[in-house]
Amino acid sequence: MKIRSVGIVGAGQMGSGIAHVFAMAGFDVMLSDVAQPNLDAAIASIDRNIERQVAKGKTTATEKADALGRIKTTLQLSDLGPLDLIIEAATEREAVKDAIFKDLAPHLAPHTILTTNTSSISITRLASRTDRPEKFMGFHFMNPVPIMQLVELIRGIATDKDTFDTLLAVVAKLGKTSASAEDFPGFIVNRILMPMINEAVYTLYEGVGSVKSIDESLKLGANHPMGPLELADFIGLDTCLAIMNVLHDGLADTKYRPCPLLTKYVEAGWLGRKTKRGFYDYRGEVPIPTR
C-alpha cells in the first residue's frame, strides 16, 4: 500500500517533529491536538526548526514553504479518519491512547493503518482494542525527530506483513533507518536507555554525585554526547517515569523500580525542558543544576 496522507495525534515535541519530517518528505500531514495553543506552538516550532536547516544550507526556502504548506492542523480527531496512516503521539498514558483510538474508530477508512509512537506500552494490547489489530503497529521515533536517524518498528502479535512492509517503505522515504523490535516493554532503545537514566537519578538521590558530576562523568567517561540527567530533561521527566512504570509493571522485576526522586520531580511539575525546570533550571541564559 502506498502512503500519501498522514494524520498525527498530539502536537507535542514528538508530534511536531514527526509532522516536520513527513512534510519535508512530501507527505500531506494533518496534525491534531486537544488545544489550539499546542497546535500553534507546534507550527511555530516546525517553522523555526526548518528555518535552521535553511540557514545551514540543508534545505531551501522554497522547500520550507512547500513543506509548511503540506501541514494542516485540526482540533477534530475525526478529520484524520480518511487518511492513509495515523500516528498517535499523544501523552504517554494508556487511557489517553485508548480513548483516542476509540474516538477515531467510527471515522476510519477501511485501508487506514493505525500506529502509535508509544515509548513503552504494549502494541498488542493497544491493537486488541481497535477494529484492526492486523493494521496496527508501533512506530517509534526518537527525539528530536528531525535529527535522529532511527525508527523502531514494533509488530503486535496480529500485525500483518503488508502493514509492516508499508511502514518499512515509509521509513525509507523519510530517509531514516528502521530497527525491528519485538513487542515487549520498552522495546529495544528504552529497555536499555531508561534504566540507565533511572540509575543516574538514584546516583543523585543517594548523593553519590551532583547533577553536574553525574552528567560530566558519563559525557567524558563513557563518551556519551549528553549526560543522562540532561537527556532525561530533554525527553521529559513525566515520560521517563511513565516508561519506568511500564518496565516495572510489565517485566515484574524490582530492578526497574522508578527512583523516588524522579517521582518527586514529576510531582513538582518539574518535567524538564518543556516546563523550563527539571534536573536543570532553563529559565536563565544557561542551564543551572537544580541539585
Helices 237-251, 189-205: axis angle to 10 degrees equals 110
Phi, psi (degrees; rounded to nearest 5) at 177: -115, 135
Alpha helix ranges (H) inside 158-223: 161-173, 189-205, 211-221
- 152: annotated active-site residue: yes
Could you say whether residue 123 binds ligand NAD (CB under 6 A)? no
Half-sphere exposure of 285 (CA within 13 A, CB side): 0
- Minimal CB distance residue for ligand NAD: 12
What nine digits make up the cell of 107? 471515522
Give Cα 182 distance to the centre of its chain.
Answer: 18
Residue 206 C-beta: closest distance to ligand NAD, Å: 26
Of 201-240, binders to ligand NAD (CB under 6 A) are 235-236, 239
Contact between 89 and 38 under an 8 Å Cβ cutoff? The reply is: no
Could you say whether residue 156 binds ligand NAD (CB under 6 A)? no
List 7, 30, 70, 92, residue binding ligand NAD (CB under 6 A): 92
**Identified catalytic residue from 152, 178, 198, 230:** 152
SS3 27: coil
Could you say whether residue 112 binds ligand NAD (CB under 6 A)? no
- 140: annotated active-site residue: yes
Stretch that binds ligand NAD, among 12-20, 171-179, 218-226, 248-256 (CB under 6 A): 12-20
Residue 12 C-beta: closest distance to ligand NAD, Å: 2
Give the closest residue to 274 by CA, choosing from 92, 110, 85, 148.
Answer: 92
| Distance (Å, whole) CA 204 – CA 251 | 25
Stretch that binds ligand NAD, among 10-18, 47-55, 123-131, 252-260 (CB under 6 A): 10-18
**Identified catalytic residue from 16, 120, 190, 198:** 190
Of 132-151, binders to ligand NAD (CB under 6 A) are 140-143
- 20: annotated active-site residue: no
- 49: annotated active-site residue: no
Helices 211-221, 228-235: axis angle to 10 degrees equals 110
SS3 50: helix
| Distance (Å, whole) CA 53 – CA 218 | 29
List 71, 87, 100, 246, residue binding ligand NAD (CB under 6 A): 100
- Strand pairing report for 288-289 and 280-281: antiparallel
Phi, psi (degrees; rounded to nearest 5) at 6: -130, 130
Stretch that binds ligand NAD, among 23-31, 51-59, 92-100, 261-269 (CB under 6 A): 92-100
Name beta bridge partners: 72: 30
**Identified catalytic residue from 16, 38, 117, 119:** 119
Looking at the Cβ atoms of 9 and 113, the one nearer to ligand NAD is 9
List 7, 15, 185, 186, residue binding ligand NAD (CB under 6 A): 15
Could you say whether residue 73 binds ligand NAD (CB under 6 A)? no
Write out the residues near ligand NAD by the rule CB under 6 A.
9-15, 32-35, 38, 89-92, 96, 100, 117-119, 140-143, 235-236, 239, 274
Which residues are tagged catalytic?
119, 140, 152, 190
